[in-house]
Structure 1
């Protein structure tokens, strides 16, 4: 007889555990990235088809430009898509206007017309390289719009105005559709991404401060590099915030928190050096100072916001009391060092507390509600970008030379598709011109274009002849565009995806009606690969900057600017700190690319930052110092300026002589009757430590 078997049902705990495991899996970074990429691709495809439909309905002759524009403008966040769309429209309008002004005026000489167009493209590239903000995209578009419209019109100048007018309309429709879809259909806001990165940066800052107190120099080096990279990343996100649909922080608040984090980076190194000096025999640290350092470390490690808020004021008062007590007499070097360290501790506590308050304001309201409660300055400079006109001009000249060689071959050979080829060459030279080594990115684009050409040929001569309805067309285009769009959302495959999404609409002939001209398609394919291939060769010869040359130039400019600050002809302290941090952030990816060992390069940039900071402050105090001491300080700064302005390496004897002069000045100033003598003594101590800061673990005797 059959006996009924009991059915084993999972318990509630088992179900809960399974549900928790399932939700945890769904939240994994890899799966989240896949979901974000799929959503981005779906929205981009919807925007592209909407732009295509509108262009068809109003009778634009080349509606595929609207599709291309959608994929160029679309970004993974709503704010970035809007800002890119605004700058693309501005650049397109400017480029089209310039083309209409240039081509008819040089109609009788195609080569001269080509030279002027190449010069305009080069000028736009130059300004885009100098800008280094999202605004640079407007200059890029002004250049390559002129290339797309201008070169094909050189041999047919009568149609240039109509071509430019229609192109602006097609691109405007693409921009509008991309912005609307990404902003209002399941928008991914930049504000949340920015806030998350900001809190991660604040955690990195507190870790840097804690490691400085612990004297873990190896970890400190990594922390400093991470903070410099964080500041650049935050600035990159912040530039898109004004275009985000969510409430955004005020610019003043962002500048205040940036300046405090920028000051913290060298300040942590100052504190680490002082603690190390006490530990290696530069005087015995007073018990009161040791207790203060321990309490500051505990305060930094505390995760309770309320406790940190109350403890900050008490610790700052204690640090200032210790500074005043040991600095009032300053009879011994140990006393002076203790007062100096206590002053830096008070500043660091104030900076960290300000960052906490500003971060909470940004997370809560985005507004600075109580500026009077801040410990540091109420005025901020904000992020400062390194700009190098000489390197920008070098890249620009390389692009112009490459374009002109292409123009000369086209006009000499009377190649019918030459105008199209040169226009694509101009796009490559501007679009990839902001990379030191553009060729690897061009190769990715070529690989994508190969896939795009293969898919286009299948569409053009196998699939599209069977399509008679718009919605059927959308259905057959969806697989290719959805796949390419998901690749575009992933950074490693972005350029390859662009090769697909920009090639299919043009080569498939997605116009007002089906053409299916195999000869024309083949000629276009030849022109595309000839242009991109020659662009890769041209950019490798004329636009590529060797990574070692880029690294050494950044270091030379930093050394030069240290000398300028010592002479009093350089930016203020906040701007100086931000500029050097940006240079550090620029060095980080270049050092990873370089095959050589540059173990001390990033430490040297911090070394330059510290020396330049204190040298500039000391230069301002010279008018307040009368007599021989003022003359000696001026001579000392002149020596430092000479050391950093030249290429000659400093010997250990040079450093020892500088150290003796500084010690003599410290003793002189400590015994003087100047009202601000303690401040000057502090600066001289900072200068002494900065000049001997261990870029390689010990005193720096060279700065290449």
Structure 2
């Protein structure tokens, strides 16, 4: 047998090493991001050129709107691109209908026409801010479509129907081309991205549950905050799943069941952490300590046993709960029973999440092989909505647009209609940010680049183009570069300034015009409108970050009071709503520059207090004797303490703690099942208020 020479062996090993190094380099996150951005840019450019070609072939007068639509609709995943296209079509159609109904009937009274158009745009912004789902994009489009068509049509109201009809056709072609290219040319399904994020979130949830059984409060705090953001991210991704081209997409009800369990797990781990710290569970040999150790080991394992270990641990926890509750001779025994009950609930939630994840994308649609441990009714994600803040932003939008209209009418500026239409787009498009000006500035920077590139194209390159293939070739560098920027979150708005400016200013109409005066007037109108929009939004639509934070905290406090009085009875709704508020607080606290840990802990504490108070309210009709009346008085005192706009004082906490002590004494030994449940809730309330975390010797636990 001939052996290869040593030189050949070394060369083979070197080639293999180089190949492996190259593959490892291509798999790095930075290279993957670059590759995804390049692919997105190439597909978007192909869709834009296809839409432009189709618009030219059927004789549409302004085919550049098809190009603009492609870049507005295109997203990095196929499902998001299709859903965004559907919402854009719906919003464009509604906005066009509204414009046709408004402009011809009120064009003889410019002031009234401006007020009605501005009112419509503000109303659309109001509903988009209330919706807070990707569907809100339809309301945004309904608003700024009316702005784009309505204000320029004031000078020619008789043609408004034709203008609206043509605009809808151009936009529909752009939507269709973007959807086809992103769905069928190297599609990037969102289902894989979603399931990957869900798996990571579930791993984080198990880590949070395991850490709750140890003395790691700072790590637990960070994990709980991250879980709140993860749930918001998952909800945003899940909205696009019905439009995804994947063969099997997760079922909506299953996703809602997983969300409900994770939402309950977040405050439950805080409850367990407090009990473990209170009891000082360490290396003892009692049943509760052994149970905690076994639960921690089960959480750390990744093996699946069809739920046998989980069922056994839940049985042990219920047994320890019953035994500790029956033999409760000291406050620590009753807290130990409470901890055992919470451990049983946590095990059930984690096991449910594992089983639901395994069945998430199953090709068969059978019923669950075994019943779930948690609630069977699926609630799903609940969004916090603030009508007052939405109305404030809408009113600021209306004031800004009317200010622009006043200047246009007063000065009789020929390009005023174009400027005000762009102003309406800015006020609507950026109106969902607390501080929109930084994003507008990014858009202005992109527009500057777009204008410079457009001038080069319009008067140096395009006059030399004689065929469509050559046109595609000369447009490719600018659009491919801008498209790659659009795929990266930090430069998305700057890229929009480029991709939305080049088609309009470069003269990509049905025929080349090359009118420098027209281009210059459009550029002046563009920057005047965007600049005025930045000033207007800074004055009328900017919400100070401290105001936004305080409104979220005030809403949480008011809802705690409502829960104590029997309002908002649905537990899953309450937990999900408070988690959404936590997710909204996180970026605002970072923007404020404040240490947000205490504020976020307050939100979690409000969630726990509201949960315990709401559950206690349900026990009052079944509690006989003075205990029921005392429970009602306790909850009324909580409602009073949390419905006023001031922090709870130490005196308030002492009063509430004394009331809890009185109710627990009236409940007796808790031998009755109903009273035992009420005592557990009183313990939960005590720990949530911060009055139950004392050591066994009675000293504060810090």
4+ runs of 1 displaced by more than 6 Å? 697-701
1:104 maps onto 2:79 in alignment = no
Alignment of 1:254-653 (within 5 A): 254-279=255-280, 287-306=286-305, 309-365=307-363, 369-370=367-368, 372-653=370-651
Alignment partners' CA distance in 1, 2:205 and 2:407: 56
Q: Shift in Å at residue 286 of structure 1?
A: 7.2
CA contact (8 A) 1:358 1:368 kept: no
Alignment partners' CA distance in 2, 1:552 and 1:27: 44
Q: Shift in Å at residue 107 of structure 1?
A: 1.9
CA contact (8 A) 1:253 1:368 kept: no
Alignment partners' CA distance in 1, 2:289 and 2:366: 35
Alignment partners' CA distance in 2, 1:95 and 1:655: 54
Between the two proteins, the alignment pairs up a number of residues equal to 693
Alignment partners' CA distance in 2, 1:488 and 1:295: 50
What whole-Å deviation, never above 9, does each CA across 1:258-303 have from its counterpart, x for those lacking one? 000000000000000001111299xx98710000000000000012
Q: Shift in Å at residue 628 of structure 1?
A: 1.2
Alignment partners' CA distance in 2, 1:293 and 1:656: 32
CA 1:317 to 1:11, structure 2 compared with 1: closer, same or farther past 3 Å? Answer: farther
CA 1:54 to 1:388, structure 2 compared with 1: closer, same or farther past 3 Å? Answer: same
CA contact (8 A) 2:657 2:691 kept: no
Alignment partners' CA distance in 2, 1:368 and 1:102: 52
CA contact (8 A) 1:250 1:366 kept: no
CA 1:323 to 1:60, structure 2 compared with 1: closer, same or farther past 3 Å? Answer: same
What whole-Å deviation, never above 9, does each CA across 1:575-620 have from its counterpart, x for those lacking one? 0000000000001111111123333011000000000011001011
What whole-Å deviation, never above 9, does each CA across 1:165-184 have from its counterpart, x for those lacking one? 00000000000000000000
CA contact (8 A) 1:79 1:190 kept: yes
CA contact (8 A) 1:693 1:700 kept: no
- Normalised to the residue count of structure 2, the TM-score between the two structures is 0.96
Q: Shift in Å at residue 673 of structure 1?
A: 6.8
CA 1:351 to 1:594, structure 2 compared with 1: closer, same or farther past 3 Å? Answer: same
CA contact (8 A) 2:107 2:157 kept: yes
Please state whether the residue corresponding to 1:377 is helix, strand or coil.
coil
CA contact (8 A) 1:110 1:155 kept: no
CA contact (8 A) 1:694 1:700 kept: no
| Residue number in structure 1 paired with 2:114 | 114
Q: Shift in Å at residue 11 of structure 1?
A: 5.6
CA contact (8 A) 1:125 1:139 kept: yes
Alignment partners' CA distance in 2, 1:516 and 1:369: 66
Alignment partners' CA distance in 1, 2:12 and 2:367: 48
Alignment partners' CA distance in 1, 2:285 and 2:93: 68
Q: Shift in Å at residue 660 of structure 1?
A: 2.3
Please state whether the residue corresponding to 1:373 is helix, strand or coil.
coil
Q: Shift in Å at residue 518 of structure 1?
A: 0.3
Q: Shift in Å at residue 13 of structure 1?
A: 4.6
Gaps of 5+ in 1: none
Q: Shift in Å at residue 443 of structure 1?
A: 0.3
Please state whether the residue corresponding to 2:302 is helix, strand or coil.
coil
What whole-Å deviation, never above 9, does each CA across 1:348-382 have from its counterpart, x for those lacking one? 00000111111111254485741643111111110
CA 1:11 to 1:290, structure 2 compared with 1: closer, same or farther past 3 Å? Answer: farther
| Residue number in structure 1 paired with 2:249 | 248
What whole-Å deviation, never above 9, does each CA across 1:542-570 have from its counterpart, x for those lacking one? 00001111111100110111011001112
Alignment partners' CA distance in 2, 1:672 and 1:38: 66
| Residue number in structure 2 paired with 1:63 | 63
Alignment partners' CA distance in 1, 2:218 and 2:642: 27
| Residue number in structure 1 paired with 2:205 | 205
Please identify, of 415-424 and 12-21, the stretch whose mean Cα deviation from structure 2 is larger.
12-21
CA contact (8 A) 1:55 1:63 kept: yes
Alignment partners' CA distance in 1, 2:668 and 2:24: 63
CA contact (8 A) 2:37 2:484 kept: yes
**Structure 1 counterpart of 2:674, from 654, 673, 676:** 676
The alignment's C-alpha RMSD in Å is 2.0
Alignment partners' CA distance in 2, 1:479 and 1:139: 34
Q: Shift in Å at residue 627 of structure 1?
A: 2.1
Please state whether the residue corresponding to 1:10 is helix, strand or coil.
helix
CA 1:699 to 1:451, structure 2 compared with 1: closer, same or farther past 3 Å? Answer: farther
Alignment partners' CA distance in 1, 2:193 and 2:86: 21
Alignment partners' CA distance in 2, 1:86 and 1:645: 43
Please identify, of 310-319 and 387-396, the stretch whose mean Cα deviation from structure 2 is larger.
310-319
Alignment partners' CA distance in 2, 1:462 and 1:558: 60
CA 1:442 to 1:619, structure 2 compared with 1: closer, same or farther past 3 Å? Answer: same
- Normalised to the residue count of structure 1, the TM-score between the two structures is 0.96
